[in-house]
A = this chain, B = another copy of it.
């Protein structure tokens, strides 16, 4: 039968999307190191003037090739790796990306080019641990010079030669004001648990553009609301009394402030375990490596080292809904009164947010019953790195019905009661990008709905408090300002609604006013569907600040459901996003995707991503510019379409962000909802439905397809329902 063949092909094709294995990574490394003219050395060796591998990850097959395997069961195209090499040991250092294959025994490599052949500035590279080592060295010099200042104001903290009272630092990005620069504002913090919210009021601008760290230098110092041209100038003025010798020790009248250690009390006990999920009869999903099935769903997944979680070949009952849904970028643009705060525009793919998938704690990050999966990354390393339990997959109950109806007879009884519990499969990873922890979720509901969601936790990015800072945030402790910022997250949603040829329309309501047909002296005003087909990319690029139409409808103009409607899905936003800078203003060019809550483009293999790992340190002239994808304003009628979705929220920190931003209320995302894709709600396939009808004897009769008793862990009592509502 067609459905089972389709299922086999989906299963067969899933390995095309699997991340690189250890063996593949090692083979690629060995192959490239075997090319003499590349002169590759260890990434972890101390010098910056070297050629080395920065990152390797799966290179996705071209879509039309992958589809042959997925739709016709053809052989899978050979696997390939994409490798970023930093060529620092050259007169003109550069960055080159290579496609290496076939895996697992590579024999060839070719240069991967960006759209328009844009070169990658060497200054746009992410910062590596070796570069951080050198930054640490210059900071040791700086803090030695400023030792007395720091030691006095903090009552005993120092950057070096410290044991319990140490300082640490945070660097912000971008690293400069214009293309080609590499100079970074760094702020010092007390190295305590949760140091992100312990600024000491010392910020320094270090120019580290030269590949010889000996040539790095301090450009500016900010201390206690004043600017200095050098550390020496600060020290001199501090000694002479031109800088007030304010002490910070009273800053933290609560030492626990930044920690997770419990304090305070609660009306009800919390020292016992709360409600937990159990699976009394085992998993109801199927996982084979990166291929997952649940209810009618099947999909493949991967976690791209640069940008994160991706889902491929998403199908329901064998029919494709999306070819790819993938995280592209996450940004947080800040405002503030200190130079580090004003400068902070985090563009997290540049911090390899896909690799910062740290271990998930059972019972906290995912339920105990989850399936935990290890990930492997190759970034800023000389061997593959194992991230244990970095992804989880689980089914949960939402403690809600998916549908329910009590069919009253309006006389104290009922015709029937029917209900189906709402369970959902969750696919989850996290990215801890320095202070912040993003939780990335895909939810697959029984009724063909997918929810894509990001939740924010972790520490806020905080700076030293100044009175003027109150225009840009909230005081969250003495001397600490929580800086306002906007989170935006970008997703690629390559919907393939029952095939590649899709169209896009929006629906709004318009009032119509006409003579009442049954009472001609009256008028009727009612709403009418107002559909607009968007025929070109520009027309389907919706700007922030303008009203997004209510229904965003993607459909296959060639496929109809049983009732004659074109099979479709719609995107429903759950977001409070807005743009973060005026269009075209400096760094905004690097995030041109953020102009649009939704933009629809024609699919191109050359337009794989909307951002890159280079944007953070080169937002001014980015190698990947989303705006380029819509500039040619292509026809999008009955074509292979890609929806690009921006969600996010404004975050004005407040005292309750201490110690961490909490997830309730801080989650945004979008739904993909079937709209006449099926003939009826496909969750009717679930045998977990329960129907109760009054029996002949007046007692309720339960019709069900699951065991009557769930089991001793949940309840030994069989399900009971009374149904009547009687006078007393």
Q: Let me know if A675 is at the binding interface, CB within 8 A.
A: yes
Residue A89 at the chain B interface, CB threshold 8 Å: no
Residues of B close to A652: CB separation below 8 A: 507, 529, 551, 675
Which of these, B385, B476, B486, B654, contacts A726 with CB under 8 Å?
B385
Most buried by B among A361, A366, A417, A430: A361
CB of A580 within 8 A of CB of B656, answer no
Cβ-based interface call for A420 (8 A): yes
Q: How far is the CA of A529 from the CA of B720 in the complex (A)?
A: 55
Q: Taking the nearest CB of chain B, how far is it from the CB of A45, in angstroms?
A: 15
- Alpha-carbon gap, A486 to B509, bound state (A): 10
In contact, B728 and A383 (Cβ under 8 angstroms):
yes
A483 → chain B closest CB, angstroms: 10
Q: Are B527 and A484 neighbours in the complex by a CB distance under 8 Å?
A: yes
- A111 contacts partner chain B, Cβ-Cβ < 8 Å: no
A663-714 CB contacts (< 8 Å) to partner B: 663-665, 671, 673-692, 703, 705-707, 710-714
- Contact status B727-A527, CB under 8 Å: no
The reply to whether B262 and A713 contact each other, CB–CB distance below 8 Å, is no
Contact of A719 among B219, B274, B361, B477 (CB under 8 A): B361
Residues in B whose Cβ lies below 8 Å from that of A683: 662
Copies in the complex: 2
A155 at interface, CB cutoff 8 A: no
Question: Which of B132, B260, B415 is within 8 Å of A193, CB to CB?
Answer: B415
CB of A71 to closest CB in B, whole Å? 18
**Complex CA distance for A420 and B404, rounded to whole angstroms:** 33
CB pair A358 B725 closer than 8 Å: yes
From known contacts A404-B365, A449-B665, A563-B475, infer whether A277 and B275 are also in contact, taking CB-CB under 8 Å. yes
Return chain B residues, CB-CB under 8 Å to A400. 439, 455, 663
Tell me if A335 counts as interface (CB < 8 A to partner B). yes
Q: CA of A376 to CA of B565 in the docked complex: distance in angstroms?
A: 46
Contact (Cβ within 8 A) B402 A662: yes
Contact check, A661 vs B356: say whether CB atoms are below 8 A apart.
no
A205 interface contact, C-beta 8 A: yes
Chain A 550-579 near chain B by CB (<8 Å), digits 1 or 0: 110000000001111100000010101010
Chain B residues, CB < 8 A from A65: none
Is A395 in contact with chain B by the CB < 8 A criterion?
yes
Q: Which of A421-429, A533-541, A630-638 has 4 or more CB atoms under 8 Å from chain B?
A: A421-429
Q: In the assembled complex, which residues on chain B have CB atoms less than 8 Å from the CB atom of A550?
A: 576, 578, 650
Closest partner residue, chain B, to A682 (CB atom): B264
Q: Are A284 and B268 in contact (CB under 8 A)?
A: yes
Question: Residue A67 at the B interface, CB < 8 A?
Answer: no
Q: Does A223 contact B (CB under 8 A)?
A: no
A707 close to B273 (CB less than 8 A): yes
**A147 vs B139: C-alpha distance when bound (angstroms):** 94
Q: Is A273 within 8 A of B710, CB to CB?
A: yes
Asked if A13 lies at the interface with its beta carbon under 8 angstroms from chain B, I say no
Q: Which of A53-61, A208-216, A515-523, A601-609 contacts B (4 or more CB under 8 A)?
A: A515-523
> A151 at the A/B interface (Cβ < 8 Å)?
no
Assess whether B423 is in contact with A365, with CB atoms less than 8 Å apart: no
One of B437, B518, B656 near A447 (C-beta < 8 A): B656
A227 touches B518 (CB 8 A): yes
A161 interfacial by beta-carbon distance below 8 Å = no
* In the complex, chain B residues whose CB is within 8 Å of the CB of A685: 262-266, 270
Chain B CB within 8 A of A298 CB: yes
Shortest distance in angstroms between A147's beta carbon and chain B's nearest beta carbon?
A: 23
Residue of B nearest to A509 (CB): B650
From the candidates B219, B270, B519, name the one contacting A295 in the complex (CB within 8 A). Answer: B270
User: A274 contacts which chain B residues (CB < 8 A)?
Assistant: 279, 284, 395, 397, 421, 423, 688
Question: Among B362, B382, B405, which residue has its beta carbon within 8 angstroms of that of A432?
Answer: B405
* Complex partner residue of A656 from B381, B486, B662, B677, CB under 8 angstroms: B677
Q: A295-B267, A419-B364 are in contact. Are A563 and B477 (CB under 8 A)?
A: yes
Q: Is there contact, CB below 8 Å, between B267 and A7?
A: yes
Task: Pick from B276, B295, B382, B473: contact of A714, CB below 8 A.
Answer: B276
By the criterion CB–CB under 8 Å, are B277 and A281 in contact? no
**Which of B129, B680, B688 sits near A659, CB closer than 8 Å?**
B680
A384 is an interface residue with CB less than 8 A from chain B: yes
> Judging by beta carbons under 8 Å apart, are A681 and B656 in contact?
yes
Q: Is A158 an interface residue (CB 8 A)?
A: no
Contact call B359/A723, Cβ cutoff below 8 A: yes
CB contacts under 8 Å to B, within A327-363, are 333-336, 339, 342, 356, 358-359, 361-363
A415 (CB) vs chain B CBs: closest residue: B193
Question: Is A207 close to B, CB under 8 A?
Answer: no
Which residues on B sit within 8 Å (CB–CB) of A266?
295-296, 685-687
Q: Are A363 and B458 in contact (CB under 8 A)?
A: no
Question: Which one of A30-38, A74-82, A386-394, A496-504 is at the interface?
Answer: A386-394
Q: Is A662 a contact of B403 with CB atoms below 8 Å?
A: yes
The 8 listed contacts between A and B (C-beta, < 8 Å) are A257-B680, A267-B296, A268-B285, A275-B279, A358-B725, A422-B662, A655-B674, A656-B680
Task: Give 5 nearest A-B pairs by CB, closest first.
Answer: A260-B418, A713-B713, A364-B419, A264-B685, A403-B660
Task: List 8 other contacts, CB 8 Å, given A260-B403, A404-B660, A655-B678.
Answer: A262-B685, A272-B706, A274-B421, A342-B524, A361-B690, A405-B457, A565-B655, A655-B674
